[in-house]
Amino acid sequence: MAKQSSKREQELREYSLKRADELKQKIKPYLENSKNIPTGLNLTEFYEAQKERILNYFKATQEDWDDWHWQMRNRISDVNTLSSIFPMTEERKAEIAKTGNIFRWAVSPYYLSLMDFDNPSDPILLQGIPMGLELEDKKGEVDPMGEAMTSPAPCITRRYPDRLIINVTNICGMYCRHCQRRRNIGEIDQHSKREDLIAALDYVRANPEIRDVLITGGDALLLSDSTLDWLLSELQSIPHVEIKRLGTRTPVTLPMRVTKKLADILAKYPPLYLNTQFNHSKEVTLESRKAVDKLVAAGVIVGNQAVLLKGVNNNPDVMKKMNHELLKIRVRPYYIFHAKKVKGTTHFIPSIQEGLDIMKALRGFTSGLAIPTYIVNAPQGGGKTPLLPEYLVSLDDDKAVLRTWEDKIVDYDTDSDTDS
């Protein structure tokens, strides 16, 4: 009997070793490819050199650089300033100027320091600097999300039964070229009027089914500390509001905004969730990690809502690498949004099949923590629609036929043993 048991154990061990080798072979291609995917934490020396170049242009100091107010005052928004820091051809300057006359742009000195101007396909460059393709767009819409149709009160967007958005500002540290709300940017930076915010709060108070409120913009953290404190305090005082959320890209584009004072304010209002938007592993830097560290220490739960962008991250290995880098700094991948058909941005839109291929390359090949939900927003305010590769082949009362992450077809018995 002991010999039989020993033989069985040996057979199982041999099978396990064979299976482990199979799994090792499956991950090999990613391990090789990932070596060529740049990450912010490995580019610190390059970023420091870029920073020094920018500081020299502005005749500024490290203390200035660490001051988010200085960063905002010195956002680069004209091609002459840009080309004085990073020289470019006259053709490229003309392209930026022409596009900028139609679609406003601005980029913080910090985010500019992450750009590689020697690489026209740099994913950071593509997100921040205008391209002539924006003017060639014939398919995009001004408001594909139908936000104007889903605003029952000032500053409010409501698409779901138990939650809503309060839009508090049109200001951002950097105006993303793929922005879904570029219609709101205008030419003047302005926060929502206090009376409109009060009206929005009154709407929340009058609708007790609202348990979840997202403060966004623009960028929610570009409000002053005092205004954020007031707004969060008001929401905290509403009994039926269980969850408060902040929508911000400052950990990515302006990480010095996350000061100790701000963190202390946020710590007063749990539970508080903050969703940001990293779109590439190059954006996961020492500075962004420091910002996230302060948020996490303040008890804020940090998630990421990436946008699937052609030329930036529409590649399974690039997306996986970014999600791994995010988990290392304690940011949970939450959503991958399919890029919206916003006027001037459709050159960024990949195919839905590319999104599904990315999801298929994640499931089973990495931990569930690194797998966000892939979302396509239904037109005209129809809401978020999750998409997955087809894992359910068929289903009846007795059996489900499943496709595993390895494309193996298996039967799963669904017949309950419970007597009827």
**10 or 122: whose pLDDT is higher?**
122
Total residues found in the chain within this entry? 420
Q: Do the domain assignments include residue 151?
A: yes
Mean pLDDT value across the chain: 94
Are residues 261 and 409 located together in one domain of the fold?
no
Spatial CA neighbour of 147 closest among 279, 340, 330: 340
Q: Do the domain assignments include residue 29?
A: no
Are residues 176 and 116 located together in one domain of the fold?
no
The residue-averaged pLDDT of 105-112 equals 97
Are residues 362 and 395 located together in one domain of the fold?
no
What are 308-319's pLDDT values in tens digits? Answer: 999 999 999 999
In this model, does residue 419 exceed pLDDT 90? no
What are 143-200's pLDDT values in tens digits? Answer: 777 777 889 999 999 999 999 999 999 999 999 999 988 877 767 889 999 999 999 9
Question: Of the spans 311-320, 390-399, 401-410, which averages the highest pLDDT?
Answer: 311-320
What are 44-90's pLDDT values in tens digits? Answer: 999 999 999 999 999 999 999 999 999 999 999 999 999 999 999 99
Sheet architecture: strand order including 212-216: 156-157, 163-167, 212-216, 243-247, 272-276, 301-308, 332-338, 373-378, 383-387
Q: How far is CA 269 from the centre of its chain?
A: 23
Are residues 82 and 220 located together in one domain of the fold?
no
The terminus-to-terminus CA distance of the chain in angstroms comes to 42
Are residues 120 and 252 located together in one domain of the fold?
no
The predicted structure's pLDDT at residue 420: 40
Of 132, 155, 178, which residue sits at a domain end? 132
Q: Do the domain assignments include residue 140?
A: no
**Residue 132 burial (CB < 10 Å; 0-12/13-18/19+)?**
middle
Residue whose token pair is 């998630």: 303
Are residues 398 and 351 located together in one domain of the fold?
no
In this model, does residue 2 exceed pLDDT 70? no
The residue-averaged pLDDT of 385-395 equals 93
**Taking the alpha carbons of 389, 390, 391, 397 in that order, is the dihedral positive or negative?**
positive
Q: Do the domain assignments include residue 76?
A: yes
Q: Do the domain assignments include residue 159?
A: yes
Domain carrying residue 191: 147-387
Q: pLDDT band for position 8 (50/70/90)? A: confident
Residues whose CB is less than 8 angstroms from the CB of residue 400 and which lie 6 or more positions away in sequence, other chains included: 392, 394, 411, 412, 414
Tokens representing 28 are 């090999």
Please report, to the nearest 10 degrees, the dihedral formed by the alpha carbons of residues 251, 256, 257, 260 taken in order.
110
What are 218-245's pLDDT values in tens digits? Answer: 999 999 999 999 999 999 999 999 999 9
Q: Do the domain assignments include residue 139?
A: no
Are residues 294 and 170 located together in one domain of the fold?
yes
Are residues 151 and 261 located together in one domain of the fold?
yes
In this model, does residue 417 exceed pLDDT 70? no
Are residues 381 and 404 located together in one domain of the fold?
no
Q: Cα–Cα distance between 195 and 60 in angstroms, integer?
A: 38
Question: Of the spans 281-290, 386-395, 398-407, which averages the highest pLDDT?
Answer: 281-290
Of 102, 132, 162, which residue sits at a domain end? 132
Are residues 333 and 367 located together in one domain of the fold?
yes
Are residues 51 and 170 located together in one domain of the fold?
no
Q: Do the domain assignments include residue 9?
A: no
Q: pLDDT band for position 416 (50/70/90)? A: low
The predicted structure's pLDDT at residue 383: 84
Of 132, 158, 193, which residue sits at a domain end? 132
Bridge partners, 156 (sequence order): 166
Q: Are 354 and 371 in contact (CB under 8 A)?
A: no
Tokens representing 197 are 């915010």
CATH of the domain at 198: 3.20.20.70
Q: Do the domain assignments include residue 57?
A: yes
Q: Cα–Cα distance between 153 and 151 in angstroms, integer?
A: 6
What are 341-371's pLDDT values in tens digits? Answer: 899 999 999 999 999 999 999 999 999 999 9
Q: How far is residue 216 from each of residues 163, 205, 238, 247, 360, measured CA to CA in Å?
A: 13, 19, 19, 5, 31
Are residues 128 and 247 located together in one domain of the fold?
no
Q: Per mean pLDDT, which range of 142-146, 296-300, 309-313, 371-375 is the poorest? A: 142-146
What secondary structure does DSSP assign to 315-361, as a single string?
Answer: SHHHHHHHHHHHHHTT-EEEEEEEPP-BTT-GGG---HHHHHHHHHH
The predicted structure's pLDDT at residue 6: 86
Q: For the chain, what is the domain count?
A: 3
